[in-house]
Structures are given as structure tokens and as C-alpha cells.
């Protein structure tokens, strides 16, 4: 029997994180972490799940758009899709009328990300492998066929990508064994939300140090004095050996993994994130004033589409030893292409569903590897941590071959709603997903959907009654 995609379901799932200040920053002041969730059903037991992350209002619009994109897969046999996932991705973005209201950006694009991710989840489950393992076990030729190259061949051609991947092929197994043993390096944002009190920031920072983390990120941009104070609170803890876990040896600030990161005496690194709040000149002046807290980089200092603005900020901050990172709101691979070509970023921050799914992510991983820019994915939202560990493993094992300077964001929120939640080991590193049936790790508990689906989930009904 040929297996076909028969129908799909979407769910608008919203969690009330605005009540506790989780996710707050200078631009986004009340975040209800939300999932525009899709399930692709076949005429077999196979089901593929995917989602796109939003922060509340508008999640219903994404769900409606997912229905238009997912309908393009109904009736399709899965094996021809899996044979060439790059072409399958091109099919998803090829509806000319939907494309008109992008093209390849905005709501249509993130809806496409949910659907493409669900298709990849279906593929991985059909092969009984976690997604990362499915991809790293591909031949270089198969991986190149799985990526999206339209509009980026002036930065990297399929032939160049194939050569890069072949150069890493012989040593993939050693890297896989190493990361399975050690875990993938992580940084923590959970202590640095803008809406937290100083006491909560200090408490969560101490807990993060005890958990083995040595990279930390805080939100900035609302008030300089407040940012300096909060940064100094975090620095006073992460730079003090007394807070390290028992028996923990400080990292060498001059070591190759930390060189150029403004690491403190214990080897701890602080990053700052403005979430697009400034104009270019304002960003330069503001970040210079935060030099005393020694940030490695400023993330999203200005509008995410402003490639030349990011390049100007990077040039101005370089003498101060502060880098520039962006990408969580980069619409598509073309924006990343230009950021890399313009020498505008020190760190490339892909998002698992702002880009239109795994196939487009692979394109950006390949470009970043060619330009020698480390990839540190964005994961500040529901489901994103579950997603991006797979992407970082693909990058390390099959594409860039390095994780020495890379760190993957970890936010300790809402993992309990997933069947296969991500986890962190005692070294402050992501554990490698190992369940052969988990696919892309994004399947949500039915009970969580029933409770938090908007507006008729049991939580929201009770909230409305209590209002």
C-alpha cells in the first residue's frame, strides 16, 4: 500500500506566560507563548507534527494560513516527497496566489515553516530516527537535494555545498560520538527577561551557574541605568567562583572556545539582546554605554531587515570588543545571504520556524559554514528548544564540523507539554535526542492542547469566567 497524506488538523495553542513576565523584552512587553500547530495524517499509523511560534494575538491568522499551505500536500504519496525534500519544499512555496502575499516572508512563510517541519517529522518517523540522525545519515548528495538554493547561488552553489559536505563526511562518526557523550553547548536566557525583579534575576542566575551554564543572556533596551544595574548583578554572580558547582573548574577565559567573547575570570560569557528596539546610531551609542558589563555580542540591535544598518553597528562596536548577532526575525535565506555577504554579523541566529522549515534552515547552515560564521540558534519560545537541538546537531556533525564557539539558546519554559522534551545535562549542555520514534520532537500532549487551545480550551474558558 502506498502511504499518502490524507488530511491535516491545526490547533491554536496559547500559554499565559504574560502573567509571569516570561519572554519580556524592550519590544515585546506581554508575551503569551503560542503554537500554531499542525498534524499531517496519512492512511497509515504515521502522523507528522509541526508548529510555528508566536506570542499570542495573530496565532489564529497563522493557523488559517497553515490550512492553505498544508492543503497542497493532501493526496500526495510520501515517498516521492521524501526522495527530494528540496523539491517538496519548492512545491509548498509555489502557490502563486499565496506567494503574492509574501513572497517567502511574513505569515505565509512561517505557516510554511510549520508545514515543512511537519513533513520532515513524518519523514524521520517513517525511518524510525530522530530528525538530526535522519539528516546526518544522508549522503552529501541527499543533503544537498534537501536544501533550498533558489536566490542564493551567488553566495553558495549546490556544487560548492556538495564539496563542503564531502570534506566533512569521513569524520562525521567521530563528531557524532563526541556530541552524544558531551552534549551540545547551551546558553541560558531564562534569568534575563526584562520584566523580572532584581531578586528574581539574581536567584535564577545563581541557579543557572549551579546547573553548569557558563553563557548567559539578558534583555536590554528600555533603560540604560536599569540595564547596567541588572548586568552588574549577573556579572557579580557569574564572575565569582564561589557560585560555581562543587568541584567545578573555571573555564579558561583565554581558551579557544572563549577567545573574543569578553569572558570573565571564571570563563563566563554575557550576551545582550535588544529585540530590534533602536535606530542604528542609537544602537551604537547605547551599546557602547554597556561596555562595562563586557557583552560578547548585541543581538537584534535594530530592524531585522536592515542589513547595512547591522553592518554599520558591527563596524562601530568592533573597537569596543562587542560583536553583533541577529537572525530570529530574518525572513528567509536571502536576508541571511546578505547579512553574511555584507560582513554584518559575528553570529548567525537561525530560527527553526521563522525560516520556512528544515529545508531552508539547511541552506542557511551551508552559507554560514562557507562564510565561517558560527550558528547559535534562537530558541526563546515554546517548542523552539525541542526543535533547534536537532538543527545544531546537523550543523556540527554534517555541515560546519565545529561546536567549539557555538552555543544554543535554552529557555526553561513549557517543555512539559511535549512528548519528547529537550533536556540539559550537568555540564550545561543539551542532551542528544535518542528516541527513534520522536522525529522532530515537537509532538504535543493531547491534554495540553485540550487545556490551552484558544479560545475554548479549559484554561481559557475558566479565565474568561473569572474575568
Which residues are annotated as catalytic?
219, 378
Beta strands in 353-410 (DSSP E): 408-410
Q: Are strands 295-299 and 323-326 parallel, antiparallel or unpaired?
A: parallel
Cβ-based neighbours of 299, under 8 Å, separated by 6 or more:
217, 271, 272, 273, 274, 275, 324, 325, 326, 328, 347, 349
Residue 105 carries which DSSP code? Answer: S
**Residue 396 buriedness (CB in 10 A; 0-12 / 13-18 / 19+):** buried
Q: Grid coordinates in use for 301? A: 540591535
| Rounded CA separation 362/360 (Å) | 5
| Rounded CA separation 138/127 (Å) | 12
Q: Are strands 47-54 and 5-14 parallel, antiparallel or unpaired?
A: unpaired
59-70 and 106-126 helices, crossing angle to 10° = 60
Three-class secondary structure of residue 316 per DSSP: helix
| Rounded CA separation 231/220 (Å) | 9
Radius of gyration of the chain (CA): 21
CA 350 to chain centre: 6
Three-class secondary structure of residue 317 per DSSP: helix
CA 424 to chain centre: 16
What DSSP assignment string belongs to 40-89?
A: EEESSS-EEEEEEEE-STTHHHHHHHHHHHHGGGTT-BHHHHHHTHHHHH
Instruction: Calculate the alpha carbon distances from 297 to 301, 318, 320, 382 in Å.
Output: 10, 10, 11, 24
Instruction: Calculate the alpha carbon distances from 405 to 185, 284, 291, 345 in Å.
Output: 9, 25, 21, 15
**Residue 90 buriedness (CB in 10 A; 0-12 / 13-18 / 19+):** middle
| Rounded CA separation 9/41 (Å) | 8
Amino acid at each position: 500500500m502506498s502511504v499518502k497524506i490524507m488530511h491535516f488538523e491545526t490547533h491554536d495553542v496559547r500559554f499565559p506566560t504574560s502573567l509571569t513576565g516570561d519572554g519580556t523584552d524592550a519590544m515585546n512587553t506581554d508575551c503569551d507563548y503560542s503554537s500554531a500547530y499542525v498534524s499531517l495524517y496519512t492512511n497509515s499509523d504515521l502522523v507528522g507534527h509541526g508548529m510555528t511560534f508566536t506570542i499570542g494575538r495573530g496565532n489564529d491568522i497563522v493557523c488559517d494560513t497553515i490550512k492553505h499551505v498544508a492543503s497542497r500536500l493532501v493526496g500526495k504519496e510520501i515517498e516521492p516527497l521524501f526522495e527530494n525534500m528540496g523539491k517538496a519544499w519548492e512545491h509548498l512555496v509555489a502557490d502563486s496566489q499565496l506567494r503574492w502575499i509574501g513572497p517567502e516572508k511574513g505569515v505565509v512563510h512561517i505557516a510554511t515553516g510549520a508545514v515543512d517541519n511537519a513533513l520532515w517529522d513524518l519523514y524521520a518517523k517513517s525511518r524510525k530516527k530522530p530528525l538530526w540522525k535522519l539528516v546526518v545519515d544522508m549522503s552529501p548528495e541527499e543533503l544537498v537535494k534537501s536544501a533550498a538554493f533558489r536566490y542564493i547561488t551567488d553566495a553558495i552553489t549546490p556544487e560548492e555545498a556538495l564539496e563542503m559536505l564531502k570534506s566533512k563526511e569521513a569524520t562525521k562518526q567521530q563528531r557524532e560520538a563526541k556530541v552524544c557523550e558531551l552534549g551540545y553547548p547551551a546558553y541560558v536566557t531564562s534569568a534575563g527577561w526584562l520584566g523580572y525583579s532584581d531578586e528574581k534575576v539574581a536567584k535564577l542566575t545563581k541557579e543557572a551557574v549551579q546547573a553548569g551554564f557558563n553563557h548567559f543572556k539578558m534583555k536590554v533596551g528600555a533603560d540604560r541605568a536599569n540595564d547596567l544595574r541588572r548586568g552588574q548583578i549577573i556579572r557579580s554572580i557569574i564572575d565569582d567562583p564561589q557560585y560555581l558547582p562543587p568541584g567545578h573548574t573555571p573555564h579558561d577565559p583565554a581558551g579557544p572556545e572563549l577567545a573574543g567573547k569578553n569572558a570573565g575570570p571564571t570563563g563566563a560569557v554575557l550576551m545582550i539582546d535588544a529585540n530590534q528596539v533602536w535606530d542604528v546610531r542609537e544602537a551604537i551609542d547605547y551599546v557602547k554605554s554597556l561596555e562595562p558589563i563586557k557583552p560578547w555580542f548585541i543581538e537584534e540591535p535594530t530592524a531585522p531587515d536592515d542589513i547595512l544598518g547591522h553592518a554599520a553597528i558591527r563596524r562601530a562596536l568592533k573597537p569596543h570588543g562587542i560583536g553583533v548577532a541577529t537572525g530570529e526575525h530574518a525572513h528567509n535565506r536571502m536576508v541571511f545571504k546578505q547579512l553574511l555577504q555584507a560582513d554584518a554579523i559575528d553570529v548567525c541566529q537561525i530560527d527553526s520556524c521563522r525560516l520556512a522549515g528544515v529545508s531552508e534552515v539547511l541552506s542557511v547552515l551551508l552559507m554560514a559554514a562557507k562564510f565561517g560564521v558560527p550558528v547559535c540558534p534562537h530558541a526563546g519560545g515554546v517548542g523552539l528548544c525541542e526543535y533547534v537541538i536537532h538543527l545544531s546537531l546537523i550543523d556540527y556533525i554534517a555541515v560546519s564540523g565545529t561546536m567549539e564557539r557555538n552555543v544554543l539558546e535554552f529557555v526553561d519554559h513549557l517543555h512539559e507539554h511535549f512528548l519528547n522534551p529537550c533536556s540539559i545535562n550537568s555540564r550545561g549542555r543539551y542532551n542528544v535526542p535518542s528516541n527513534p520514534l520522536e522525529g522532530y520532537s515537537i509532538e504535543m500532549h493531547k491534554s495540553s492542547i485540550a487545556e490551552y487551545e484558544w479560545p475554548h480550551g479549559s484554561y481559557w474558558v475558566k479565565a474568561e469566567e473569572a474575568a
